[in-house]
Amino acid sequence: MKYNFWINFLFVCILLCSCNKKNKTIVTPSTIDEIYIELPEDVEITVEREPIKKVPDIYRMASLQRMECFGSCPEFEFAIKSNGEAIWIGKKNTNRIGSYKAQASAGILFNIKSKIKEENPFQYQKMYPANGKKIKELPDTYMLINDGRQQIIIRNNHEAPKGVLDFENFLEEIIELLEWEKDL
C-alpha cells in the first residue's frame, strides 16, 4: 500500500513539473527594437535591455610628461589622441617652448597601437621605484597608455624596468617624427 502511494506521488510530481511554463530571459542590446524568434507557445519570454558599452570615438592613446629637475632636464608635456591629434607643451630646456600641435599619420597611430599590443604596458606597476622612495634630484616622468579598453599611468623616477624605459623612448621618437606647428 505504501509502495503504491509513493509511486502515485512520484507520478503526480513529474506530471506537475513537466507541465510548468518555463520563463526564458533574452538579453538584447538597447538599439534593437524587435526580435523575431520562434518558440513553443507555452514558453513565456522576458526581455531585458542592457546598454551597449561603447569605446569612446576619440581618446588619449598616449602621453608623456617630464617634470623639472635641479639641472637642465627638459620639462614638457606631450599627448596624442586616437584620431591623430597631438599636442606639445614645452616648458624648459626643450627645442620648442610653448604650445604646439601636430597631426599624426595613420602609420604612426598603427605603430603606437602595435607597440601597446606588443609590450603590454598594463603589466607594469604604476610607480617606480616600487617602494615610493624617489630621488628629488631626478625628474619624474609620467606616461599614460590607453588602448581604448584599459588605461595605465606610470610614474617613473628611477629603477623602472627596461620595458617602461623603452616605451618612454618610443614616445620620444614619435615626438620627433611629428611636424609641429605653433598653436596660437
pLDDT surpassing 60 at residue 18: no
C-alpha cell at 155: 610614474
Q: How far apart are the first and last CA of the chain?
A: 99
Name which residue leads in pLDDT, 1 or 182: 182
pLDDT at 164: 97
122-158: b (≥16 Cβ within 10 Å) or e:
eebeebbeeeeebeeeebbbebbbbbeeeeeebbbbe
Mean pLDDT of 119-141: 94
178 and 159: one domain? Answer: yes
Residues 145, 65 share a domain:
yes
All three cell numbers of 118, joined, read 606588443
Q: Are residues 71 and 120 in the same domain?
A: yes
Residue-range definition of the domain harbouring residue 160: 60-182
Lowest-pLDDT range of 26-35, 142-151, 172-181: 26-35
What does the mean pLDDT of the chain come to? 83
Residue 55 lies in a domain: no
Residue 54: pLDDT above 90?
no
Mean pLDDT over 80-99 rounds to 96
The pLDDT of 64-69, averaged and rounded, is 94
Same domain for 70 and 14, yes or no, is no
pLDDT band at 30 (very low <50, low <70, confident <90, very high): very low
Residue 3: per-residue pLDDT: 57
* 90/173 same-domain check: yes
Structural domains of the chain, count: 2
Runs of H (alpha helix) within the chain: 2-18, 106-119, 162-177
